[in-house]
Amino acid sequence: MARVLVTGAAGFLGSHLCELLTDRGHSVIGMDNLLTGDIRNVERLSGRDYVFVKHDVTNYIHVDGPLDRIYHFASPASPIDYLKLPIQTLKVGSLGTHNALGLAKAKGARILIASTSEVYGDPLVHPQREDYWGNVNCVGPRGVYDEAKRFAEAMVMAYHRYHGVQTRIVRIFNTYGPRMRVEDGRAIPAFLSQALKNEDVTVFGDGSQTRSLCYVSDLIEGITRLMESDEVNPVNVGNPVEMTIRQLAETIISITGSSSRIVTRPLPMDDPKVRQPDITRARAILGWEPKVALREGLEPTIAYFRERLGI
């Protein structure tokens, strides 16, 4: 059993990761500054081999005792959040990753960092394979997230090559499930809360842009497999079933039995027009592929949103 640090532990993915790791008998230290994380996600872990430390990882990270694994998940991740928090987003991706790598080196721990499909920007290659270098506007509004994550990947590889640190990089594609914040601003939380309240569902642009949506349990399973694999190069983890955003809005309205109608809003600048992971590498190296279909994954997600909204 390992002693594991998870940064971003109070976030959507971080909290699911902490839950799975403690289920498997590991001893987990969860760290978060609660900038976009929610303390309620952490409280549900009480009674397990779990401690929470409130800390901003852009500052030096101190952990007492040995560490075997570090999952570095701290970062604003919704476009709305990183537009509101551009400097913090850049700092956690760069300084936060540097501190996490320094800790991994000092403790002899293996470290996995959460990278993103955003490293591919508005992609000119479709679906996206890991050997595609991407199409990112570094001075655009999304550049703060995309470039921070690209820098983080470069820093990880430097620590691996120069210091021999055991590193792993997961490129996470759009993921959904319980514990996404109602006000998160991403498509699924926005559409679900609008549909459940019978309010207008806001599709940006003409809704022809595509995304491929992965249920959280599939994603977390893929990530823990990557951590325990020997793969140092980046690995896409996501669900390759692609749909348009308009189809997603229609599906959510239909499943929730909502009387909402779809309205359109301007497409945000640099919003990727297509996105679909090529998961050939994950299938081959991790023996992993997603199992949960969208309709199946939406059920517990809707139940969670109903509870949060009191509907």
Taking CB under 6 A as the rule, which mask of x and - marks residues 238-277 in contact with ligand UDP?
A: -------x---------------------xx--x------
From the list 43-51, 150-158, 202-210, 229-237, the region that binds ligand UDP by CB under 6 A is 202-210
E strands in 25-184: 27-32, 50-54, 69-72, 110-116, 167-172, 175-176
Q: Tell me which of 50, 71, 82, 145 is the catalytic residue.
A: 145
Interatomic CA distance for residues 269 and 122, integer angstroms: 11
From the list 133-141, 199-207, 214-222, 230-238, the region that binds ligand UDP by CB under 6 A is 199-207
The site that binds ligand UDP (CB under 6 A) totals a number of residues, namely: 14
Q: Report the chain's terminal Cα–Cα distance, integer Å.
A: 41
Known catalytic membership, residue 145: yes
From the list 211, 225, 281, 308, which residue makes contact with ligand UDP (rule: CB under 6 A)?
A: 211
Q: Contacts with ligand UDP in 34-93 (CB under 6 A)?
A: 79
* Amino acid type, 62: H
Residue 34, CB-side half-sphere exposure with 13 Å CA sphere? 9
From the list 27, 137, 202, 244, which residue makes contact with ligand UDP (rule: CB under 6 A)?
A: 202
Give yes or no for residue 186 binding ligand UDP (CB under 6 A).
Answer: yes
Interatomic CA distance for residues 88 and 39, integer angstroms: 19
Give yes or no for a contact between 223 and 235, defined as CB atoms under 8 angstroms apart: no
**In this complex, which beta carbon is closest to ligand UDP, that of residue 207 or of residue 234?**
207
From the list 200, 204, 221, 229, which residue makes contact with ligand UDP (rule: CB under 6 A)?
A: 204
Interatomic CA distance for residues 196 and 216, integer angstroms: 21
- Cβ neighbours of residue 47 closer than 8 Å, sequence gap 6 or more: none
Give yes or no for residue 174 binding ligand UDP (CB under 6 A).
Answer: yes
Interatomic CA distance for residues 36 and 189, integer angstroms: 15
Q: Which residues in this chain contact ligand UDP in the complex, by CB under 6 A? A: 79, 174, 186-187, 190, 202-204, 209, 211, 245, 267-268, 271
List active site positions: 145
